[in-house]
Amino acid sequence: MSLEPGALATLISDSCGLPFDGRRIAGANTIQIVPSGLPVQNTFTIQTAVGWRNVEVTFVPGSFAGELVRHMGLADAGARGSCAAVLAKCLRDGATVNLRINNHPAKPDDPTGWGAQWARLELSVRRGQLDLGNGDQDNEKIFAWTQQVTAAIVTLLPLEQDDLPSENLQGGFSEGAQVQFEGNRYERDRRNRAAALAIHGYACLACSSELGDRYGSAAVGLIEIHHLTPVSKLGSDYCINPATDLAPLCPNCHRVAHRREPPFTIEELKSMLAAE
Ligand SMILES: [Zn+2]
Ligand SMILES: [Zn+2]
């Protein structure tokens, strides 16, 4: 495995809006990423093990993470829906998803049976029959699977307050909701971004370009998240579904989309590009 733990941690940090550090387990094809600057025993590790033709990503709670897991069980319906949407994407992509709550198997794509009083949480996602051994393409797969599992977990991290989201073109986006995750500020919009990228990937939904392919490593992961329904039209209790309400757009397409109010649709953007 050629992917450096630090490089993986940087990509995951960008996609999930939480800083992570990476390290390799000596003598094994396994990378661990942990939230930066926090006592790992109180938080969690995301462990990615690369085998012969398979990748397995496991959520490993710290030995004193009971309080965190309890809070994750109390995540609101929007967060649980986002988590389930990400895990449903993993299932669609051919992975085996093992989700256990309080030592009982739970359906990954249906949060209605998850209950709210969590004492124990186990999650691992394994994708076999992968064509590995191709350098950069391996790295993309390792990153994609690690990002999906990390996104599923961070969607459930505790939010302290929920404000109506807003979209800010300059910075891509920013929502009002901000939280304290064990000392790190964590915004609801970042949670939605993590889930949207896990589900849709990094290619622009309008022009299909991935900026990293065109500009190289400086642009890897550079993508903006567009709200298909303007946030001003959503009720304050509306739960954003990252699969259907959010779309990754490159900065160009995103700017064009907002040159009209209401914004141009993805289909309209596509037909502009086709007519050019
Ligand atoms: Zn585009
Ligand atoms: Zn937008």
What pLDDT, on the 0 to 100 scale, is given for residue 1?
52
Q: Which residues, 6+ apart, have CB-to-CB distance to 8 below 8 Å?
A: 22, 31, 33, 48, 142, 143, 146
Query: Residue 112 is which amino acid?
Result: T
Q: How far is the CA of 220 from the centre of ligand 1 (A)?
A: 14
Ligand closest to Cα of 214 equals 1
pLDDT of residue 172: 28
Cα 227 to ligand 2 centroid, rounded to whole Å: 5
In the prediction, which pLDDT does 90 show? 97
Separation of CA 169 and ligand 1 centre (Å): 14
Cis peptide preceding 105, ω within 30 of 0? no
Which of 129-133, 196-200, 203-207 has the least mean pLDDT? 129-133
DSSP β-ladder status, 30-35 and 20-24? antiparallel
- Which residues lie at CB < 5 A from ion ligand 1? 204, 206-207, 250, 253
> Nearest ligand, CA of residue 255?
2
97/95 Cα distance (integer angstroms): 6
Q: To 10 degrees, the CA torsion angle through 264, 171, 82, 197? A: 80
The single residue listed with the structure tokens 């086709």 is 274
Mean pLDDT, residues 203-219: 90
More confident residue, 110 or 140: 110
Give the C-alpha separation, 249 to 252, whole Å.
8
Confidence category of residue 120, pLDDT binned at 50, 70, 90: very high
pLDDT, residue 187, reads 58
Cα 206 to ligand 1 centroid, rounded to whole Å: 5
Ligand 2 centroid to Cα of residue 256, in Å, is 9
Name the closest ligand to CA 171: 2
Q: Residue 269: nearest ligand to its CA?
A: 1
Q: What are phi and psi of 130, to 5 degrees?
A: -90, 145
Average pLDDT over residues 31-42: 90
Looking at the chain, how many residues does it have? Answer: 276
Q: Write the secondary structure of 133-166 as one string of H (helix), E (strand) and C (coil).
A: CCCHHHHHHHHHHHHHHHHHHHCCCCCCCCCCCC
- Average pLDDT over every residue of 187-199: 85
Q: d(Cα 111, Cα 199) in Å, to the nearest integer? A: 17
Ligand in nearest proximity to the CA of 266: 1
Nearest ligand, CA 251: 1
Helix (H) or strand (E) holding 125: strand 121-127
Share of the chain above pLDDT 90, in %: 62
* Cα-to-centroid distance, 274 and ligand 1 (Å): 12
Shortest-distance ligand to the CA of residue 203: 1
pLDDT at 159: 59
Banded pLDDT at 2 (limits 50, 70, 90): low
Residue in the block written with tokens 């965190």: 68
Reported as a single tens digit per residue, the pLDDT across 129-175 is 998 887 778 888 999 999 999 999 999 987 544 433 334 332 322 33
**Ligand 1: distance of its center to the CA of 66 in Å?**
43
Summarised one tens digit per residue, pLDDT across range 216-272 is 888 888 899 999 987 777 776 778 889 999 999 999 999 999 999 889 999 999 999
